[in-house]
A and B are shown apart, each in its own frame.
Chain A
Amino acid sequence: MHNKLLKWCLSAMSLAMLSGGSFASYDVNIPPPKTVIAHQIYNLHLYILVVCAIIFVVVFGWMFLALLKHRKSVGHKAEQFHENTTVEIIWTVIPFLILVALAIPATKTVLEMKDTGNADMTIKVTGYQWKWEYDYMQDGVRFFSNLKTPRDQIGEPNAPATAQKNPEYLLEVDNPMVVPAGKKVRLLITANDVIHGWYVPQLGVNQYGIPGFIKEVWINVDKPGVYKGQCSQICGKEHGYMPITVVAKSEEDYKAWTDEQKKKAAASAEDPSKVWTLDELKAKGQQVYAANCQACHQANGMGIPGTFPALNGSKIATGPKADHINTVLNGKAGTAMQAFGKQLSDTEIAAVVTYERNSWGNKTGEVIQPADIKSARK
């Protein structure tokens, strides 16, 4: 046990020093701002920091002087004064004036941040446990954005990571939010289950998504580029694993992207009358399971005892399929098992339920078709 810990410490330190070379980051400031508001935030912070630094030097210079000169060991005798009204008024008024000087530019920025009118387009952003959904309502384009970093780069207690962490570790997603640069984009931010925070520092946005409510912010990205962020409000076990990527494109590139998305949406609308085989469903179901269920119920279907129930051998997954379908569609109130009905299509739910009922030790032999899910939705 001691040897193992020692070996771990030594390899961790050498890994830190080695990887330090390529990714070492001693960034001490806000990341480079890329929207009008972000620029204002960056400058405001610098301004306040400089003011605080000056006050720090003056005040603690004063204290330091006292520590040096007014000590018993150099023979200084204590005077006995204990008030001075003039001085006290001065050091009440001057800080107040400094605060006013800080508040004026800050007020301007607050008012500008709240002005969401006259937007060129709107995107609805919804936080889920544990991914983001982007809905381009006027274009009919809607998709989820999941963390793309493979689990084998992350590791877990007693099962260290088996793959090296890539440079985009924990910041990469499968489907980024794409926006046109130079246009005012209004974001309507909400959540599906618990409070999440949509936070992209370079865009100057940090907005809670509150389930049942919609909050407005706006961005106008200076120029095309890729901007990263993370969820900023604790939302459960995978709170650290639901990043945000915003890709700003030129107007033409953005139009091309939108057209492509619309085509994809049309193509993936599945034929509702197709009859799927067990193997087809299990293959698709395994993918859906990995992306949506595995975080809690685990790859081996055994869950985490006491926290997340096992599906392998469970009554739900081997008993009446109607109950199983209902749980996936509608969730379980008062627990972290949410309603996947809105997030997953009929085909995806049919596939994952079929997978769960025919994997590990479960051998129901049942095949659930998308039409079954469609009729279960009420």
Chain B
Amino acid sequence: MSATHAHDHGHDHHGPEGFFGTLKHYVTTTNHKDIGSLYLWFALIMFFVGGAMALLIRLELFQPGLQFVRPEFFNSLTTVHALVMIFGAVMPAFVGFANWLIPMQIGAPDMAFARMNNWSFWLMPPAALLLFSSFFVPGGAAASGWTLYPPLVIQQGISVDMTILAIHIMGASSIMGSINIITTILNMRAPGMTLMKMPLFVWTWLITAYLLIAVMPVLAGSVTMLLTDRHFGTHFFNAAGGGDPTMFMHIFWFFGHPEVYIMILPAFGIISQIIPAFARKPLFGYASMVYATASIAILSFIVWGHHMFTVGFPASGQLFFMYATMLIAVPTGVKIFNWISTMWKGSMTFETPMLFALGFLVMFTLGGFSGLVLAVTPVDITLHNTYYVVAHFHYVLFGGAVLSIMAGVYFWLPKWTGRMYNETLGKWHFWLTAIGFNLTFFVQHFLGLAGMPRRIPDYALQFAEFNAISTIGAFVLGISQLLFFYNVLSCIKSGAKAADKPWEGADSIEWTLLPTPAPYHSFETPPVIK
């Protein structure tokens, strides 16, 4: 492809058409837009698969007693639901955004390592297949919770080994993707695009990529030790052999805590693009946002013990992790205040992306409050491993990460496809999601406070009412996501043609310097940024 003429055909590709032609194209593509779309489609499918598992879980929990699934299968459902949503839906969706947007937002023609980018994606479907096939092997899928604690996980069948392999594959994908992202951002920015002029989305991904490189190998180490304890005679986590189950928890959560920030920092980036666009006002406190994001990332390495407050640390350990965890509230609060200040004295409109961004602000903050409650060690003692924790992380992960992904899809669909989604359907999707989500998860705070443990298929009678309400909410939530699926599909197929700048206040260079839809190859000549 020569750089002397612009390619204006959006998603056209050169080469044989037809089914196998298209298949070959996508299997071999090195184009960041194609790969971004592949990640996003993969994530959407995984979202529905994981969602179906969640509905099965809530179905069983609708009433006390065992009606639909056996307890061991229920435990597999909770385990795989989490693995699919974390590794199959949220993380790949954010990588999809990274692929689509980072080159366009920094004025680069593509990612630094375009071919490795292709491998990063294509590792994911086999890993997903491995994870799903684990349901069909003797013993059923892993049933230890996604946290895979030994000694329980040592007892379970070959599905655990399949899960470990899937985790290794997905980890390799993430590490390669992160190397790509860091190299691209540090080396391929257009002239004049200093680090402090980059859109905040690019900053959040730069920091997230470092987190991924730091902790995915730690996860890999921990699950490899599980593998050798299971099959090769080691006893890392077996007291009888001189080992300690607690060590697994330390290693796992050293990965696990930064992992949850990996899942929210890109969300912060997306919201930081959307709110200024719909307030028609620049992001408030850009520099503080960068420093706050970096502080959150650094702090995320020293708080892992708050997942282990019931293990039995000495007082000094409990106190250290309590203080460090509470501290994260400060930079996080700064970000919330900055977003609201962006809106303050702006000129807002409330199209679907903005609705989802506002939903994010409220839901994520609520999740932050329940996180603060859990950070206080003595209170965590009464709430650890109850539904309060389930409520907390769904508020930050669904109310935070997933709402931001939906906001971002609605926001950038015009840029990606040249077409508008249906605004009425988008608003319906938002309100049904907001109502369904809160119905499902708000009552779970009460269940946790009342003492209902998590990861149980059946419960005592005093928990029945809120469980019934939560299940109804879950079905409202689950079914309304079909609206999203339909809206995306019909937008791509037959949406109204989008204006070159459909969002009046959007001012990053993918909006101001590129046509809509963005050409298949963009910025082959780097722009000069003033």
Chain A positions within 8 Å of B, measured between CB atoms, are 8, 12, 15-16, 19-20, 23-31, 37-38, 40-41, 44-45, 48-49, 52, 55-56, 59-60, 62-63, 66-67, 70-73, 76-84, 87-88, 91-92, 95-96, 99, 102-103, 106-107, 109-111, 113-114, 153-157, 160-161, 165, 167-171, 193-195, 197, 199, 201, 204-208, 210-213, 215-216, 229-241, 304, 306-307, 334-336
Contact = CB atoms under 8 A, between A and B. Distances in A.
A208 B65 contact: no
Nearest to B377: A110
B245 A20 contact: no
Ranked nearest first, the 7 interchain pairs of A and B with the lowest CB-CB distance are A212-B239, A240-B456, A215-B312, A25-B462, A78-B347, A306-B138, A194-B152
With most chain A CB atoms within 10 A of its CB, the pick from B64, B70, B343 is B64
With most chain B CB atoms within 10 A of its CB, the pick from A20, A171, A210, A231 is A210
Nearest to B154: A334
Given A16-B63, A204-B381, A211-B239, A63 B453 contact: no
Contact of B244 (A29, A201, A212): A212
B72 to A, nearest CB: 4
Contacts of B287: 83
Contact of A206 (B345, B362, B384, B460): B384
A63 B340 contact: yes
A170 B65 CA distance: 10
B420 to A, nearest CB: 19
B385 A72 contact: no
Given A199-B385, A306-B138, A232 B372 contact: no
Contact of A239 (B75, B381, B460): B75
A302 to B, nearest CB: 14
B71 A238 contact: yes
28 contacts: A16-B468, A25-B461, A62-B340, A63-B361, A77-B347, A81-B345, A82-B284, A83-B287, A83-B288, A92-B334, A106-B376, A106-B377, A109-B377, A168-B460, A194-B152, A197-B310, A204-B381, A211-B151, A212-B238, A215-B311, A229-B451, A230-B451, A230-B453, A234-B455, A237-B72, A306-B139, A306-B140, A336-B155
A92 B330 contact: yes
B345 A194 contact: no
Contacts of B337: 59, 91
With most chain A CB atoms within 10 A of its CB, the pick from B71, B377, B451 is B451
Given A67-B343, A110-B319, A206-B310, A44 B67 contact: no
B323 interface: yes
B344 interface: yes
A12 B67 CA distance: 11
Nearest to A45: B379
Interface in B483-507: 505
B326 A102 contact: yes
B327 interface: yes
A215 B381 CA distance: 14
B331 to A, nearest CB: 8
B336 interface: yes
Interface in B349-394: 349-350, 358, 361-362, 365-366, 369, 372-373, 376-379, 381-382, 384-386
Interface string B238-253: 1110001110000000
B318 interface: yes
Given A26-B466, A70-B344, A334-B155, A197 B385 contact: yes
A27 B155 contact: no
A78 B152 contact: no
Contacts of A99: 326-327, 329-330
Interface in B156-212: 156-157
Nearest to A194: B152
Contacts of B282: 80, 82
Contact of B348 (A52, A67, A84, A156): A67
A240 B387 CA distance: 13
A24 B450 CA distance: 13
Given A110-B378, A155-B65, A165-B65, A195 B149 contact: yes
